Amino acid sequence: MTALAPRDFDDAANRVRGHIRHTPLVPAAPSGDQHDLWFKPECLQVSGSFKARGAFNAILSIPPEKRAAGVVTASGGNFGAAIAYAAQTVGIPAQVVVMTGSTELARARIRSFGATLSVIGAFWDLSWEAAEAIAEETGATLLHPFARRPVIAGQGTIGLEILEDLPDVETVVVSIGGAGLIGGIAAAIKQRRPDVRLVGVETEGCPTLYRSREAGHIVMIDPVVTKVPILAARTTEPINFALVERHVDDLVLVPEDEPEEAARWMWRSTGLAIELGAATAVAAVQNGHVRLGEGKTVVVLCGSGDDGLPSRDGG
């Protein structure tokens, strides 16, 4: 694998500027009584998650003469919504295959941006096989949600923003699905600040990168028993594993019963509506799975969702 260079991230930032939001850093508590903890709310990003960064960078990297045939991808939901939004913005067709466990909120977002939606496969890799067949049949450009350089570079722009807004950050905590997000953020940050600590978080029911690091090679998790479908990537790809091995300092696991309460806590304490994938990173810090130092810690909130909102009956 050819490593991503600083220029890859700088070029991505220039390419997506004007299409995505530079999300703010939000302190966990104004009084500072929760260490020096900050949130990077990508839940406020266009299309609802950080995936808009990689989606725009990937689509805008396609030669104009190839864009007309459109794009196709497979997604747990967020990348599909981002691709649908980016494609609509650029004016090309998009087809998205989502897993059967994807949320209705994610499906509604994808449809709202005009993409053709298919629901195929209990796991992401099965949805990906269906997307490959569609690309072969239609000639659309196949976009991988986490294992292609333009996508990873786009996600890495989050790291550039963190360093710009909080130059003395000490630790950055990121949830892991397929590892495109943490791979991009970690590479972008470590190339500029090697001393920053990067921590990846998975659920106990789908410890893909955790077990791969233990084994020294990529493994497939079977069965997957996680309650966080957005993070249910049974395996990863060589480019992502290499980035994690090179740039991520620690990997931790969160029990399955913690993300939902973390999502509720975030809504009560900050008013941010986050998905369980984002709440997994919050739970890791909140419940002591990640040891916080004296310096500043940033938790990346990868996407929005209604998992922490009170039910309509007041429960």
Q: What is the pLDDT of residue 127?
A: 93
Question: β-strands 169-175, 197-203: how paired?
Answer: parallel
* Residues in CB range of 85: below 8 A, 6 or more apart: 46, 47, 52, 55, 113
Interval 267-277 mean pLDDT = 95
- Who contacts 259 (Cβ-Cβ below 8 Å, separation ≥6)? 203, 227, 228, 276, 277, 279, 280, 282, 283, 307
Q: What is the mean pLDDT of residues 39-68?
A: 96
- With contact defined as beta carbons under 8 Å apart, do 38 and 297 qualify? yes
Q: At what angle do helices 51-61 and 149-165 cross, to 10 degrees?
A: 130
Percent of the chain at pLDDT > 90 equals 85
User: If pLDDT is split at 50, 70 and 90, which confidence band does 4 have?
Assistant: very high
pLDDT at 2 (0 to 100): 58
Q: How confident is the model over 303-311, as a mean pLDDT?
A: 88
Query: What rounded mean pLDDT belongs to the chain?
Result: 94
- Domains, the chain, ranges and CATH? 6-49+148-301 (3.40.50.1100), 52-142 (3.40.50.1100)
d(C-alpha 131, C-alpha 135), whole Å: 6
pLDDT the model gives residue 312: 39
DSSP state for residue 146 in the 8-state scheme: S
- The predicted structure's pLDDT at residue 29: 79
pLDDT at 315 over 50: no
Over residues 216-220, mean pLDDT: 97
pLDDT in tens, 146-189: 999 999 999 999 999 999 999 999 999 999 999 999 999 999 99
CB 84 within 8 A of CB 60: no
The residue with greater pLDDT, 234 or 166, is 166
Among 19-23, 31-35, 36-40, 233-237, where is mean pLDDT lowest?
31-35
What is the tally of helices (H) and strands (E) in the chain? 12, 10
| Cα dihedral across residues 6, 199, 309, 119: positive or negative | positive
CA distance 35 to 15: 36
pLDDT tens digits, 93-120: 999 999 998 888 889 999 999 999 999 9
* Per-residue model confidence (pLDDT) at position 34: 57
Cα 240 to Cα 182: distance, rounded to the nearest angstrom: 9
